[in-house]
């Protein structure tokens, strides 16, 4: 079945690293994505990883993929107050994406 | 700037009164999507168009319809809104290819009185 699970809340101090975790169920997923949603806005693609990769780094963002455990994580280094948002994990099965419920990241100054 | 535009940003309708939400894109993408997002929930795909081909999700209620008169525009019609249809409606586009990035509009928040 199609199901993407994420913890709902994460709170970190400014300057610390944030790690947001996600598990997915469909081993045929080709791409996995992280989207960011700020209040009142649509979703913005942050980064993605192809299923044959196990790590991708893009500036402050590091994505780790454990395909055996169907586990995806997003690490944000040096978290800033502007990183406060909801982060959605999504898997691609065919054309549409299947999203998790999102993790609300709160950054404490 | 190329973008996805949704109008209006906020829509209020009455129970049972038909409402239409609109989406336009300047990206010339061939796929357009409509998602429903309720508070603290994942965006839920309602349907998508691959060019003119309409793809309805199995659990999308019949109350929801869509039209895509051309590449740039896509409409979501709710024929008889119920209180449970109050949500944020997100439009997205993508070009079928490698990583299939979806570009989202800002959403329309629908209130049903």
State mean pLDDT over B64-80. 96
Structural contact between residues B57 and B49, judged by C-beta atoms closer than 8 angstroms: no
Structural contact between residues A60 and A46, judged by C-beta atoms closer than 8 angstroms: no
Tens digit of each residue's pLDDT (9 = 90 or more) over A80-92: 999 999 999 998 8
Cβ–Cβ below 8 Å for A42 and B100: no
Banded pLDDT at B101 (limits 50, 70, 90): confident
Looking at residue B99, its pLDDT comes to 65
Banded pLDDT at A54 (limits 50, 70, 90): very high
Q: How far apart are CA B32 and CA B14, in angstroms?
A: 27
Looking at residue A1, its pLDDT comes to 47
Measured between beta carbons, the chain A residues lying within 8 angstroms of B94 are: 95
Q: How far apart are CA A31 and CA A47, in angstroms?
A: 11
Tens digit of each residue's pLDDT (9 = 90 or more) over B36-56: 999 888 899 999 999 999 999
Residue of chain A whose alpha carbon sits nearest to that of B43: A99
The owner of tokens 């239409």 is: B20
Q: How far apart are CA A73 and CA B112, in angstroms?
A: 37
């Amino acid at each position: 079945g199609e199901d993407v699970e994420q913890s709902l809340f994460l709170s970190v101090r400014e300057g610390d690293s944030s790690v947001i975790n996600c598990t997915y169920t469909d081993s045929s997923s080709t791409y996995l994505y992280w989207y960011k949603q700020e209040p009142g806005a649509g979703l913005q693609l942050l980064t993605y990883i192809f299923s044959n990769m196990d790590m991708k780094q893009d500036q402050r963002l590091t994505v780790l993929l454990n395909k055996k455990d169907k586990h995806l994580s997003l690490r944000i280094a040096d978290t800033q107050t502007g990183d406060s948002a909801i982060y959605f994990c999504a898997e691609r099965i065919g054309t549409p994406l299947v999203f998790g419920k999102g993790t609300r990241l709160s950054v404490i100054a | 700037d190329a973008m996805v535009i949704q109008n209006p940003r906020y829509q209020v309708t009455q129970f049972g009164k038909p409402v239409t939400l609109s989406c336009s894109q300047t990206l010339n993408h061939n796929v357009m999507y409509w998602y429903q997002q309720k508070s603290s929930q994942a965006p839920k795909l309602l349907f998508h168009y691959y060019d003119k081909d309409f793809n309805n999700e199995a659990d999308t209620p019949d109350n929801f319809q869509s039209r895509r008169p051309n590449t740039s525009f896509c409409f979501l019609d709710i024929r008889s809104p119920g209180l449970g249809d109050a949500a944020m409606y997100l439009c997205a586009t993508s070009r079928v290819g490698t990583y299939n990035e979806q570009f989202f509009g800002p959403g329309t928040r629908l209130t049903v009185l």
